[in-house]
Chain A
Amino acid sequence: AQRVTQPEKLLSVFKGAPVELKCNYSYSGSPELFWYVQYSRQRLQLLLRHISRESIKGFTADLNKGETSFHLKKPFAQEEDSAMYYCAPSLNKFYFGSGTKLNVKP
Protein backbone atom coordinates (compact mmCIF):
# COMPACT_ATOMS: atom_id res chain seq x y z
CA ALA A 1 0.00 0.00 0.00
CA GLN A 2 1.11 3.55 -0.64
CA ARG A 3 2.18 5.42 2.46
CA VAL A 4 3.53 8.88 3.10
CA THR A 5 4.91 9.81 6.49
CA GLN A 6 5.54 13.32 7.68
CA PRO A 7 6.66 12.68 11.25
CA GLU A 8 6.37 16.22 12.59
CA LYS A 9 2.89 17.67 12.94
CA LEU A 10 4.30 20.99 14.09
CA LEU A 11 7.69 22.52 13.58
CA SER A 12 8.55 25.82 15.23
CA VAL A 13 11.72 27.71 14.38
CA PHE A 14 12.97 31.24 14.75
CA LYS A 15 13.34 33.55 11.78
CA GLY A 16 16.70 33.00 10.12
CA ALA A 17 17.11 29.46 11.41
CA PRO A 18 17.45 26.49 9.05
CA VAL A 19 14.41 24.31 8.59
CA GLU A 20 13.94 20.76 7.41
CA LEU A 21 10.56 19.14 6.92
CA LYS A 22 10.82 15.39 6.69
CA CYS A 23 8.97 13.12 4.31
CA ASN A 24 9.33 9.38 3.92
CA TYR A 25 7.27 7.42 1.45
CA SER A 26 6.47 3.86 0.54
CA TYR A 27 5.20 3.61 -2.99
CA SER A 28 5.02 0.93 -5.65
CA GLY A 29 6.37 2.14 -8.97
CA SER A 30 8.37 5.31 -9.55
CA PRO A 31 6.30 8.27 -8.48
CA GLU A 32 7.01 11.87 -9.15
CA LEU A 33 7.62 13.74 -5.90
CA PHE A 34 5.98 17.02 -4.98
CA TRP A 35 5.72 19.42 -2.08
CA TYR A 36 2.52 21.42 -1.77
CA VAL A 37 1.98 24.34 0.58
CA GLN A 38 -1.14 25.90 2.04
CA TYR A 39 -0.85 29.39 3.49
CA SER A 40 -3.51 30.63 5.88
CA ARG A 41 -6.86 31.08 4.13
CA GLN A 42 -5.43 30.12 0.74
CA ARG A 43 -5.79 27.06 -1.43
CA LEU A 44 -3.23 24.31 -1.80
CA GLN A 45 -0.53 25.27 -4.23
CA LEU A 46 2.55 23.66 -5.65
CA LEU A 47 5.79 24.57 -3.92
CA LEU A 48 8.17 22.42 -5.88
CA ARG A 49 8.51 19.13 -7.73
CA HIS A 50 11.53 16.92 -7.89
CA ILE A 51 11.70 16.62 -11.66
CA SER A 52 12.16 20.36 -12.19
CA ARG A 53 15.01 20.57 -9.70
CA GLU A 54 14.14 24.20 -9.02
CA SER A 55 14.55 26.14 -5.81
CA ILE A 56 11.31 27.91 -4.99
CA LYS A 57 11.21 30.63 -2.32
CA GLY A 58 14.57 29.34 -1.17
CA PHE A 59 13.29 25.79 -0.58
CA THR A 60 14.95 22.72 -2.02
CA ALA A 61 14.11 19.05 -1.69
CA ASP A 62 16.46 16.11 -2.01
CA LEU A 63 15.20 12.79 -3.22
CA ASN A 64 16.91 9.81 -1.63
CA LYS A 65 15.61 6.75 -3.44
CA GLY A 66 17.51 4.39 -1.16
CA GLU A 67 15.83 5.78 1.94
CA THR A 68 12.67 6.72 0.01
CA SER A 69 12.78 10.18 1.49
CA PHE A 70 12.10 13.61 0.03
CA HIS A 71 12.92 16.09 2.75
CA LEU A 72 12.25 19.80 2.25
CA LYS A 73 14.91 22.26 3.35
CA LYS A 74 15.51 25.97 3.61
CA PRO A 75 18.68 27.47 5.07
CA PHE A 76 17.09 30.62 6.51
CA ALA A 77 13.41 30.53 7.42
CA GLN A 78 11.26 33.64 7.01
CA GLU A 79 8.05 34.52 8.83
CA GLU A 80 6.12 34.32 5.56
CA ASP A 81 7.08 30.65 5.31
CA SER A 82 4.62 29.85 8.10
CA ALA A 83 2.12 27.45 6.52
CA MET A 84 1.07 23.83 6.20
CA TYR A 85 3.37 21.74 4.04
CA TYR A 86 2.35 18.49 2.40
CA CYS A 87 4.59 15.92 0.79
CA ALA A 88 2.89 14.18 -2.12
CA PRO A 89 4.22 11.41 -4.31
CA SER A 90 2.19 11.00 -7.46
CA LEU A 91 1.52 8.49 -10.19
CA ASN A 92 -1.58 9.99 -11.84
CA LYS A 93 -3.00 10.84 -8.42
CA PHE A 94 -1.49 12.25 -5.27
CA TYR A 95 -1.07 10.50 -1.97
CA PHE A 96 -0.64 13.26 0.53
CA GLY A 97 1.07 13.05 3.86
CA SER A 98 -0.75 14.36 6.90
CA GLY A 99 1.20 17.59 6.71
CA THR A 100 3.61 19.58 8.83
CA LYS A 101 2.67 22.95 10.18
CA LEU A 102 5.67 25.25 10.05
CA ASN A 103 5.62 28.17 12.43
CA VAL A 104 8.39 30.71 11.99
CA LYS A 105 8.70 32.95 15.01
CA PRO A 106 10.04 36.51 14.81
Chain B
Amino acid sequence: DTGVSQDPRHKITKRGQNVTFRCDPISEHNRLYWYRQTLGQGPEFLTYFQNEAQLEKSRLLSDRFSAERPKGSFSTLEIQRTEQGDSAMYLCASSLAGTGGDEQYFGPGTRLTVT
Protein backbone atom coordinates (compact mmCIF):
# COMPACT_ATOMS: atom_id res chain seq x y z
CA ASP B 1 0.00 0.00 0.00
CA THR B 2 1.56 3.25 -1.10
CA GLY B 3 -0.66 5.48 0.96
CA VAL B 4 -3.49 7.77 -0.08
CA SER B 5 -3.59 8.48 -3.79
CA GLN B 6 -5.45 11.13 -5.74
CA ASP B 7 -6.21 11.50 -9.39
CA PRO B 8 -5.65 13.66 -11.32
CA ARG B 9 -2.81 15.58 -9.76
CA HIS B 10 -3.56 18.67 -11.83
CA LYS B 11 -6.70 19.82 -13.58
CA ILE B 12 -7.21 22.92 -15.67
CA THR B 13 -10.76 23.65 -16.67
CA LYS B 14 -12.81 26.49 -18.04
CA ARG B 15 -15.36 28.27 -15.93
CA GLY B 16 -18.70 26.56 -16.09
CA GLN B 17 -17.35 23.08 -16.73
CA ASN B 18 -17.81 20.15 -14.36
CA VAL B 19 -14.84 18.36 -12.84
CA THR B 20 -14.50 15.15 -10.85
CA PHE B 21 -11.63 14.10 -8.61
CA ARG B 22 -10.90 10.68 -7.23
CA CYS B 23 -9.33 9.62 -3.95
CA ASP B 24 -8.15 6.14 -3.02
CA PRO B 25 -7.58 5.84 0.73
CA ILE B 26 -5.35 3.45 2.62
CA SER B 27 -7.17 0.16 2.25
CA GLU B 28 -8.01 -0.60 5.87
CA HIS B 29 -9.10 2.95 6.70
CA ASN B 30 -12.80 3.45 7.20
CA ARG B 31 -12.82 7.25 7.29
CA LEU B 32 -12.18 9.50 4.33
CA TYR B 33 -11.98 13.28 4.35
CA TRP B 34 -11.91 16.04 1.77
CA TYR B 35 -10.21 19.38 2.40
CA ARG B 36 -9.57 22.43 0.26
CA GLN B 37 -6.46 24.54 0.52
CA THR B 38 -5.90 27.94 -1.04
CA LEU B 39 -2.65 29.86 -1.21
CA GLY B 40 -1.40 30.99 2.16
CA GLN B 41 -4.04 29.13 4.11
CA GLY B 42 -4.24 25.86 5.92
CA PRO B 43 -6.53 23.13 4.65
CA GLU B 44 -10.26 23.74 5.20
CA PHE B 45 -12.55 20.85 5.98
CA LEU B 46 -15.18 20.08 3.34
CA THR B 47 -16.73 16.73 4.17
CA TYR B 48 -16.04 13.29 5.57
CA PHE B 49 -17.27 9.71 5.28
CA GLN B 50 -17.27 6.79 7.60
CA ASN B 51 -17.48 3.78 5.35
CA GLU B 52 -20.04 4.80 2.72
CA ALA B 53 -21.97 7.21 4.94
CA GLN B 54 -21.33 10.92 4.56
CA LEU B 55 -21.37 12.07 8.16
CA GLU B 56 -20.68 15.77 7.89
CA LYS B 57 -20.53 18.53 5.32
CA SER B 58 -19.06 21.95 5.84
CA ARG B 59 -21.18 25.03 5.27
CA LEU B 60 -18.44 25.97 2.82
CA LEU B 61 -19.62 23.18 0.56
CA SER B 62 -22.07 24.78 -1.83
CA ASP B 63 -24.72 22.87 -3.76
CA ARG B 64 -22.32 22.69 -6.68
CA PHE B 65 -20.11 20.31 -4.72
CA SER B 66 -20.99 16.68 -4.20
CA ALA B 67 -18.98 13.82 -2.80
CA GLU B 68 -19.60 10.11 -2.83
CA ARG B 69 -18.02 7.00 -1.43
CA PRO B 70 -20.28 4.33 -2.90
CA LYS B 71 -18.66 1.17 -1.58
CA GLY B 72 -16.81 2.57 1.36
CA SER B 73 -13.53 2.46 -0.51
CA PHE B 74 -12.59 5.18 -3.01
CA SER B 75 -14.34 8.53 -3.09
CA THR B 76 -15.14 11.09 -5.75
CA LEU B 77 -15.59 14.83 -5.38
CA GLU B 78 -17.50 16.55 -8.16
CA ILE B 79 -17.72 20.28 -8.72
CA GLN B 80 -20.41 21.42 -11.11
CA ARG B 81 -20.38 24.70 -13.02
CA THR B 82 -16.91 25.58 -11.80
CA GLU B 83 -16.07 29.16 -10.82
CA GLN B 84 -12.72 30.87 -10.62
CA GLY B 85 -13.04 30.88 -6.84
CA ASP B 86 -12.95 27.09 -6.91
CA SER B 87 -9.28 27.20 -7.89
CA ALA B 88 -7.44 25.50 -5.05
CA MET B 89 -5.66 22.37 -3.96
CA TYR B 90 -8.14 19.63 -3.05
CA LEU B 91 -6.77 17.24 -0.45
CA CYS B 92 -8.01 13.85 0.54
CA ALA B 93 -7.11 12.10 3.78
CA SER B 94 -8.01 8.82 5.40
CA SER B 95 -7.94 7.43 8.90
CA LEU B 96 -8.95 4.48 11.02
CA ALA B 97 -11.69 5.71 13.33
CA GLY B 98 -10.94 5.56 17.03
CA THR B 99 -11.78 7.57 20.10
CA GLY B 100 -11.14 11.28 20.02
CA GLY B 101 -9.08 12.56 17.11
CA ASP B 102 -7.65 10.18 14.54
CA GLU B 103 -4.33 10.49 12.80
CA GLN B 104 -5.14 11.36 9.22
CA TYR B 105 -2.96 10.37 6.28
CA PHE B 106 -3.02 12.81 3.42
CA GLY B 107 -2.82 12.35 -0.29
CA PRO B 108 -0.73 14.53 -2.60
CA GLY B 109 -3.71 16.63 -3.61
CA THR B 110 -5.37 17.64 -6.86
CA ARG B 111 -4.59 21.18 -7.96
CA LEU B 112 -7.56 22.72 -9.75
CA THR B 113 -7.18 25.81 -11.90
CA VAL B 114 -10.35 27.37 -13.28
CA THR B 115 -9.73 29.79 -16.16
List the interface of chain A (C-beta within 8 A of B): 4, 9, 30-34, 43-46, 49, 51, 86, 88-99
| Inter-chain contact A51/B100, CB cutoff 8 Å | yes
| Inter-chain contact B56/A96, CB cutoff 8 Å | no
A22 to B: closest C-beta gap in Å: 14
Check A43/B101 contact, CB under 8 A, given A93-B56, A98-B40: no
- The residues of B that contact A94 with a CB separation of less than 8 Å are 33, 35, 43, 45, 101, 104
- Per CB-CB distance, the 3 closest pairs between chain A and chain B, nearest first, are A32-B101, A96-B42, A90-B101
- The residues of B that contact A93 with a CB separation of less than 8 Å are 33, 45, 48, 56
A64 to B: closest C-beta gap in Å: 18
| Inter-chain contact B56/A43, CB cutoff 8 Å | no
Does B106 sit within 8 A of A, measured CB to CB?
yes
Q: A90-B102, A92-B102, A98-B42 are in contact. List 16 more A-B contacts (CB 8 A).
A: A30-B100, A31-B100, A31-B101, A34-B101, A34-B103, A43-B106, A44-B106, A49-B101, A51-B101, A91-B100, A91-B101, A92-B55, A92-B101, A93-B45, A95-B45, A96-B35
- The residues of A that contact B91 with a CB separation of less than 8 Å are 44
Could you write out 13 A-B pairs with CB less than 8 Å apart? A31-B101, A32-B100, A43-B107, A43-B109, A44-B43, A44-B106, A49-B103, A88-B42, A93-B48, A93-B56, A94-B35, A94-B45, A94-B104
What residue in chain A is nearest B97 (Cβ atoms)? Answer: A92
| Inter-chain contact A96/B40, CB cutoff 8 Å | no
Does B41 sit within 8 A of A, measured CB to CB?
yes
State the CA gap A89–B41 with chains docked (Å). Answer: 16
State the CA gap A44–B106 with chains docked (Å). Answer: 6
| Inter-chain contact B56/A86, CB cutoff 8 Å | no
